[in-house]
C-alpha cells in the first residue's frame, strides 16, 4: 500500500522506510504523491541501510 503525508510531495511504499514510518497517523494518507521517496527507491534497489 502506498501512502504519504498530507504535508509532503513524496510517497512511501515500504514498511521498512524510516521516513514513512515517522509520519503520524493523523497526517498519513493512502495513495501516491508526486514522486517516490529516496529511501524507498534505495530499498527497491536493495541498497538501503536497515
Contacts of 35 (CB under 8 A, 6+ apart): 9, 10, 11
Residue 41, SS3? helix
- Which pTM does this prediction carry? 0.85
Q: How far apart are CA 40 and CA 47, in angstroms?
A: 10
- Domain membership of residue 17 (yes or no) is yes
What is the span of the domain harbouring residue 10? 3-45
Summarised one tens digit per residue, pLDDT across range 3-24 is: 999 999 999 999 999 999 999 9
Q: Which residues contact 50 (CB under 8 A, 6 or more apart)?
A: 16
Residue 50 lies in a domain: no
Per-residue pLDDT tens over the stretch 16-49: 999 999 999 999 999 998 999 999 999 999 987 6
Q: Is 18 part of any domain?
A: yes
Q: How many domains does the chain have?
A: 1
Amino acid at each position: 500500500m502506498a501512502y504519504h503525508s498530507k504535508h509532503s510531495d513524496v510517497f512511501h511504499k515500504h514498511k521498512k522506510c524510516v521516513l514513512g514510518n515517522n509520519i503520524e497517523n493523523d497526517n498519513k494518507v493512502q495513495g501516491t504523491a508526486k514522486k517516490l521517496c529516496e529511501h524507498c527507491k534505495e530499498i527497491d534497489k536493495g541498497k538501503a541501510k536497515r
